[in-house]
Amino acid sequence: MTDVFLEAVPIFLLIFCRVTAFFVVTPIFNHRNVPAIFKIGLGFFISLLIVTVHGPSQAMIIDIQYFLLVIREVLIGLMMGFIVYLFFVTVQTAGGIIDMQIGFAMANIVDPVSGVSVPLLGNFKYMLLLVVFLMMNGHHFLLTGLMDSYLYIPIENQWFSKMGDGSLAQFLTNAVISSIVIGVQVALPIMVAMFITDVGLGFLAKTAPQFNVFVIGFPVKIMLGLLLIFLLMPGMAVIFEKIFTVMFNSLEQFFGVVQGPPA
């Protein structure tokens, strides 16, 4: 029994490194309001579940090479969490673009999660995205994906070789581009409406110079922008579904880039 325990401890520590690194970056779990003791406890019990399924079939010795394995597991967990975080902040990107268009960019607020200044509408959409994600039990899917990652990316994986041949860098570049494109697509209706409004105000300035378009345009763009956001709110569910689909597909592609499907 003691031998089995000693053989399982190194595997457990490697699994614990990946799980806790995933929680450090992933939205919902990385929230400052979530107690650190809860994060550690959740990571401990999830690691315990994983090691009972995937651990006994493997053996590991703690030596110099073991520390490279620890670094590899931490990088894998951070990368998985970053992919999830990348697609969550697409709505903040869209909100930043919308804020600049309608004039809310000067009213940025401090995000309690990241501690930095974020767009007003971007933070609103981000919170709305989190609520929808929790309502559809998305956090359960994230935990399931984390546990299933050991089927696609076992402890003995090809992480460093994939870093050397540029596969991971190419995947990360494509993921960042996809998130930016989605953010622009979300903001595109408001951008088009504000462009048409600016064109109309330009014609007004030429045909009726006595009107101060700077004084008129500011409240007009705010009211029109808020009205469009209110009208487009029912379609947010479709947008969020698209974001979640791309996010989970990107996670699956990440598994395939690093190791591939299980045999």
Listing DSSP states for 86-125 in one string gives HHHTHHHHHHHHHHHHHT-GGG-EE-TTT-SEE-HHHHHH
60 has pLDDT over 60 = yes
In degrees rounded to 5, what are phi and psi of residue 166?
85, 5
**Closest by CA position to 124, among listed 236, 29, 218, 223:** 236
Of 103, 114, 105, give the one whose Cα is nearest residue 223.
103
All residues at 6 or more sequence positions from 114 whose CB lies less than 8 Å from its CB, including other chains: none
Backbone angle region of 90, left / alpha / beta, with phi > 0 → left and psi within -120 to 50 → alpha? alpha
Question: What residue type is 148 in one-letter code?
Answer: D
**Res. 228 pLDDT band, cuts 50 70 90:** confident
Q: Are 103 and 218 in contact (CB under 8 A)?
A: yes
The residue written with tokens 């590991």 in the block is: 60
Quick check: 109 and 117 in contact, CB under 8 A?
yes
Backbone φ, ψ for residue 110 (5° rounding): -90, 125
Beta partners for residue 118, in sequence order: 109
> For residue 203, what is the DSSP state?
H
By CB neighbour count within 10 A (0-12 exposed, 13-18 middle, 19+ buried), where does 3 fall?
A: exposed
- Tens of pLDDT, residue by residue over 121-132, are 777 777 888 888
The predicted-structure confidence for 80-123, as pLDDT tens digits, reads as follows 889 888 888 888 788 778 777 777 666 665 555 555 566 677 77
**Tokens found for residue 216:** 């008129």
Could you tell me how far CA 54 lies from the centroid of its own chain?
Answer: 27
Q: What percentage of the chain has pLDDT greater than the value 90?
A: 0
Q: Above 60 in pLDDT, residue 56? A: no
Cα(261)–Cα(263) distance, integer angstroms: 6
DSSP 211: S
Phi/psi at 138 (nearest 5 deg)?
-65, -30
Q: What is the CA radius of gyration of the chain?
A: 23
Strands 109-110 and 117-118: antiparallel
User: Percent of the chain, pLDDT > 70?
Assistant: 86
Instruction: Give dist(CA 2, CA 231) in Å, integer.
Output: 64
